[in-house]
Structure 1
């Protein structure tokens, strides 16, 4: 019986496995080999695969390693979260400031006030006041040298940072700490963009309701706190996102203060060099860029040498950074920038101050527009007056003297041609003794006493007796005037009395014609200060300014018509053809005395210079007239006079009223006047004075019956009648 009904043998895996561990199928010995009688064939070994490398068991970290890993996870988790928050805050801040930024063109002129530019009588600029702005420029329109000088000096990585320069900040902190300062004190590492942000005050505008004053507003814009620096950095990055690099540089070049009242590169180039910013050479560009560090202290109008030294540093920076060749740098160092003629002269500082103070504030000191004023100033005459004053004090005044002096020169119509308000020259904003000092006039007032008499019919050759007199003054003790010499000269003509500056004849005439008449004539001639009430009025007890006195004498020269001293020809807005104001009411006004009386008075005043107390003012080959003046205790000394062309007044004294030593009006003031007029008239043809020219006086002859005697205005009417009847007198 067959064994076919038996179960087939079970397949079993051998102990040996292939590389993949799969079992080989094997039959039993009795299986398929029984029928063949053959030995079972040996099984082929399975293909071997590379055995997998046994994994090493994980290394167990020690306690320190686990602690480090734990701390690292904490730090990293904190850092990336904080960084994300900071990035979001920075982004938010930049977006906020970006939304507040205006169009670039609206940011170029940031001055709180306008400017005043003054032109002399020839149309040349001689003075600037206020915040001058020469007009908007761009980084492309200025000289490439100026653009490169600013970048080399202020921010050499300007084109390579996003508004904030970490390298620059780190370097600045390192320098500050090495110099013993706080990290934010001193060097700030600010980029040009950050400086522009500061100039824009982070977009905050002046508001009188918020800020106590403009000064307080400007101070708030210059804060250096950490919070302020952070906001400044955000604003700078917003600017970088909104504007191009050249736009930012343009804002900076237009808004930066560069000294001398100049805001922006164009104004500074015009102010200091008399040329546009597009035309400055390397040396001038270096000087302008150097001003950005300390514009007031480094301004070339303040200290040219200091400004040139700073410019030399900038030139070397430009060379080091490749903006200048070695040859260009050497040329700029060998020929440093110098001031233009107008900037160097700085003529008329006192004159310009006078105009600013005598013109409506809304057109000058508080103007929000750019104003141009054409003036009467003659720079040649101005320099002549300055040189004359300096020469006399250098050669004829003891060293160390603190005495002061002032000079005014004007035309006969009141147009002021030159003004010196003190010994310090080329200054502004200081006390002007020509216009602000009210001082007693002394005998310089006497011509107005004689002008009153001549207008009322007296003559230059009328007689007045110089003799002791006593005048009762209501409410006071009796007053007895004396002459400067303490002598008495008896009968003298009006001309002789004025030439010798005799006091008693002047008082007699004033009392005879009436003090009120004298006060009226003097006031109409322009002496508007309070005039004395008593008999001392005739001797100049009243106070006046040098400008008023000189203007009053101009009225005598022009034939007896009052003048108002003036310095403005016209005032207009920059770029406008139509003048806002003309002359401000200055010039010749109404007539005060007859022309004949004025001509006679000029004759008498000419004798003061040619024969009297004003001899030191004599001009060889040229007629001159004037009057000396010395006050009580010699606290003030005056000489005011004129030629046919110009009127000039000189005052000398101490600011604290200390008496002068050995000085009278006929001394140093007359010499200053002479030195001034010699320079003023240099190169001009002499012209005769418009004065009376009487025939030579005949020798005194015995009077015959019926002959009229010269009138003695010091006598009473009764005394005159008795003299006419009896041919004698009752003196």
Structure 2
């Protein structure tokens, strides 16, 4: 049996007219009787109350309610995947047809049986309450209609929206005090509400605003939390149990086992009994319902980034940091955080769940959460060339903001800058040589030029040009990996083998600031916010940079020199379904496309015949990249990918100074491998097993001849610019930065 719709009956119209014409007079007398029973029959007291009543405001517009915000990743087919929810109040507004009729009938029968026939104040109930107050000698009953309760809830919500604690407390006290003036105000506003809104709108507003215990607000969140169903699917018994809670939300909430008997009692003897009396259920339905026990199915909401699936908590945290720093969402960090927790946003991110799942799997396959002998960290982060979209971000830890979570968890995002929840960055080693190489080509040199990369070459630091950072004094002895000679071979071969002495020789012919400018044009910056260093050692990767920054920079080179700033959010809608402005990627031509093509060609040799041979997936997709090992082998890198996806793979010390390159690491599924190999195998498996299915060019074209061969020598058809045989490379070269020898 269903209650009639919201169109008013003749009695309702009459009641509404009474409210508009003369109810204020009756209300004044009623309130006087309810609050000051001794003076109830004194005309002067009644007249005074009427005067106060008439002077009160009559209009109240419901505010935008605090609602839960949701962060989503996407499957490859575009379908959204929930990562996390953020809320001050767990609430999801729903429409009229998204609420079970059982709920509507239960609420009206229990709280306000004449809801559809009165004009905002139930005179009959008020008179009965007034009589009770006269007998008791005080204000023990308010006879509040649903409209009056809705008014009170609106005022309470306004109080709770105040961010100043003192102001919030004062406003809350004002909205809930049991005094004559508050009751008068509530009644007057209820009458005004009835003039402006339909009965169904008022009932819907109440069901969306009401508290159901704890931080659960509104019928939809309550149905999901307590019973694991949507509000339109609750049974009669569940509806009655939920409506029972509005009378005393914290005392009757059923996620506390001790409250269940009291909830059951009110459900059966008050709510279901009222529905039977009101003829909205039959005797048979009543008998069947009261026999059903209260059986909660508590379904915890996805609260905060620690609940994100596929270990996407770090990416989720990155998204929240973006919102907290973008003025679109508020004037300061506090207001932006408040907007996230109350705005009802649906935030659709760039994260691809298939790539994320694979990134998490390969990271944790090769790298354990922790080890006994070092504070170990590892990450994989992937961006799209040409868009800057961040599509995967994983690391060898669980995301948690709990300081007591132990060594398996952290809130520090190894992939991002310190300002976005990350670390101060990690020395990038020889991955920085890509920027040296581009500066070399920009200065008019070629891949075929012959440079001296002999081991232990000694350089006079005063001969290095540094127009933006000042000169250096003393000497520097450049050591190569494992005594690798480097000899006098082409720049192309020196890059493939990552010969340190060769790149110091090249830097000696350049302005160090030109190398910095190349890196900066590709978005490279220190993770700690300090300026990029431009000393000689910076050419070998001494700056501390976040993996995401390196991935985006390499993506810019691979995208024909078009650099796009990283973005993590595709779109946002607000609680009303309207679009919200989001940070956009800024793309620009950072490097001449012809020079970028020459650099990409050099990077291919690193994978096929250079220092990253173990990382080669050996499939139909062409791969390019560059390895790097920092001073004392504390961090190891491989950055690169395909024309479709570019990835930074990093393993290193989070704190401490243990050599990663040669240290055996026992990953959960990998057996024992050295740390130096781990970053290569992670990268290989990521592309071979998942990323290459997303596409990418099948070959790397030759650059223009002028970038390949030295003047008067060399050939554009081969990878080597010299006839000198290429030595067999070590799998993972370090970039040692020894302390320079200072001459007297």
TM-score of the two chains, using structure 1 as the length reference: 0.61
TM-fit CA distance, 1:612: 3.9
TM-fit CA distance, 1:626: 2.1
TM-fit CA distance, 1:554: 0.2
Q: Unmatched 5+ residue regions in structure 1?
A: 1-79, 167-189, 300-304, 698-702, 713-731
Q: Does 1:387 align with 2:361?
A: yes
Q: CA contact under 8 A between 2:617 and 2:684: conserved in structure 1?
A: yes
> Relative to structure 1, is the Cα distance of residues 633 and 108 closer, same or farther in structure 2, using a 3 angstrom cutoff?
same
Partner of 1:662: helix, strand, or coil? coil
Q: How does 1:571-590 map to 2 (within 5 A)?
A: 584-587=584-587, 589-590=588-589
Q: Which stretch shifts more, 196-205 or 505-514?
A: 196-205
Return the alpha-carbon distance in structure 1 between the equivalents of residues 301 and 547 of structure 2.
33
1:444 alignment counterpart: 431
2:351 alignment counterpart: 377
1:142 alignment counterpart: 99
> Relative to structure 1, is the Cα distance of residues 472 and 337 closer, same or farther in structure 2, using a 3 angstrom cutoff?
closer
> Relative to structure 1, is the Cα distance of residues 278 and 203 closer, same or farther in structure 2, using a 3 angstrom cutoff?
closer
TM-fit CA distance, 1:538: 0.8
* 1:275-321 alpha-carbon deviations (Å, 9 max, x no partner): 9744556799799889999999xx9xxxxx97999999978975786
Partner of 1:513: helix, strand, or coil? coil
> Relative to structure 1, is the Cα distance of residues 527 and 83 closer, same or farther in structure 2, using a 3 angstrom cutoff?
same
Q: CA contact under 8 A between 1:143 and 1:278: conserved in structure 2?
A: yes
> Relative to structure 1, is the Cα distance of residues 556 and 256 closer, same or farther in structure 2, using a 3 angstrom cutoff?
farther
Return the alpha-carbon distance in structure 1 between the equivalents of residues 216 and 506 of structure 2.
57
* 1:9-52 alpha-carbon deviations (Å, 9 max, x no partner): xxxxxxxxxxxxxxxxxxxxxxxxxxxxxxxxxxxxxxxxxxxx
Return the alpha-carbon distance in structure 1 between the equivalents of residues 102 and 367 of structure 2.
45
* 1:447-503 alpha-carbon deviations (Å, 9 max, x no partner): 111222234331157453222223325455433232353554434443443334332
Return the alpha-carbon distance in structure 2 between the equivalents of residues 293 and 674 of structure 1.
60
Q: Does 1:434 align with 2:411?
A: no
1:511 alignment counterpart: 508
Q: Which stretch shifts more, 465-474 or 327-336?
A: 327-336
2:80 alignment counterpart: 124
1:9 alignment counterpart: none
TM-fit CA distance, 1:258: 7.8
Q: How does 1:269-668 map to 2 (within 5 A)?
A: 277-279=231-233, 318=267, 322=272, 333=295, 348-357=315-324, 359-362=326-329, 365=336, 375-394=349-368, 398=371, 403-413=376-386, 414-420=388-394, 423-425=397-399, 431-437=412-418, 438-439=424-425, 440-455=427-442, 456-459=444-447, 462-468=450-456, 469-473=458-462, 474=471, 476-485=473-482, 488-529=485-526, 530-569=531-570, 584-587=584-587, 589-595=588-594, 597-621=595-619, 622-653=621-652, 655=654, 657-660=655-658, 662-663=660-661, 666-668=676-678
Q: How does 1:27-66 map to 2 (within 5 A)?
A: none
Q: CA contact under 8 A between 1:283 and 1:333: conserved in structure 2?
A: no
> Relative to structure 1, is the Cα distance of residues 220 and 671 closer, same or farther in structure 2, using a 3 angstrom cutoff?
farther
TM-fit CA distance, 1:642: 0.7
Q: How does 1:55-134 map to 2 (within 5 A)?
A: 84=38, 100=56, 106-107=61-62, 109-111=64-66, 120=74, 122=78, 124=80, 126=82
> Relative to structure 1, is the Cα distance of residues 370 and 510 closer, same or farther in structure 2, using a 3 angstrom cutoff?
same
2:154 alignment counterpart: 200
Partner of 2:482: helix, strand, or coil? coil
> Relative to structure 1, is the Cα distance of residues 225 and 603 closer, same or farther in structure 2, using a 3 angstrom cutoff?
closer
Q: CA RMSD in A?
A: 6.0
* 1:114-168 alpha-carbon deviations (Å, 9 max, x no partner): 9687675836364666779755646x8622455589899x9899999879999xx
Q: CA contact under 8 A between 2:374 and 2:653: conserved in structure 1?
A: no
> Relative to structure 1, is the Cα distance of residues 327 and 371 closer, same or farther in structure 2, using a 3 angstrom cutoff?
closer
Q: CA contact under 8 A between 1:613 and 1:666: conserved in structure 2?
A: no
* 1:619-657 alpha-carbon deviations (Å, 9 max, x no partner): 2425432223333344444332212321112344455x3
> Relative to structure 1, is the Cα distance of residues 431 and 263 closer, same or farther in structure 2, using a 3 angstrom cutoff?
farther
Return the alpha-carbon distance in structure 2 between the equivalents of residues 293 and 636 of structure 1.
60
* 1:186-243 alpha-carbon deviations (Å, 9 max, x no partner): xxxx999998666434596699xxx7x4444444455699967998788777778887
Q: Which stretch shifts more, 272-281 or 609-618?
A: 272-281
Q: CA contact under 8 A between 1:389 and 1:423: conserved in structure 2?
A: no
Q: Which stretch shifts more, 517-526 or 664-673?
A: 664-673
Q: Does 1:253 align with 2:222?
A: no
> Relative to structure 1, is the Cα distance of residues 486 and 249 closer, same or farther in structure 2, using a 3 angstrom cutoff?
farther
TM-fit CA distance, 1:333: 4.9
Partner of 2:657: helix, strand, or coil? coil
Q: CA contact under 8 A between 2:156 and 2:176: conserved in structure 1?
A: no
Q: Which stretch shifts more, 124-133 or 266-275?
A: 266-275
> Relative to structure 1, is the Cα distance of residues 685 and 571 closer, same or farther in structure 2, using a 3 angstrom cutoff?
closer
Identify which of structures 1 and 2 has the higher relative contact order when contacts are C-alpha pairs closer than 8 Å and 6+ apart.
Answer: 2
Q: CA contact under 8 A between 1:381 and 1:418: conserved in structure 2?
A: yes
Partner of 1:107: helix, strand, or coil? coil
TM-score of the two chains, using structure 2 as the length reference: 0.60
Q: Unmatched 5+ residue regions in structure 2?
A: 1-33, 116-121, 131-143, 276-284, 403-409, 419-423, 463-470, 663-674, 709-713, 715-719, 725-744
Q: CA contact under 8 A between 1:350 and 1:421: conserved in structure 2?
A: no
TM-fit CA distance, 1:534: 1.1
Return the alpha-carbon distance in structure 1 between the equivalents of residues 682 and 248 of structure 2.
40
Structure number, greater radius of gyration = 1
* 1:531-588 alpha-carbon deviations (Å, 9 max, x no partner): 21210111112232222211110012112222222234456667688x675872434x
Return the alpha-carbon distance in structure 2 between the equivalents of residues 599 and 243 of structure 1.
68
Partner of 1:377: helix, strand, or coil? strand
1:7 alignment counterpart: none
Partner of 2:382: helix, strand, or coil? strand
Q: CA contact under 8 A between 1:372 and 1:571: conserved in structure 2?
A: yes
Q: CA contact under 8 A between 2:555 and 2:646: conserved in structure 1?
A: yes
> Relative to structure 1, is the Cα distance of residues 689 and 225 closer, same or farther in structure 2, using a 3 angstrom cutoff?
same
Return the alpha-carbon distance in structure 2 between the equivalents of residues 454 and 144 of structure 1.
73
* 1:60-101 alpha-carbon deviations (Å, 9 max, x no partner): xxxxxxxxxxxxxxxxxxxx9985169999998999689756
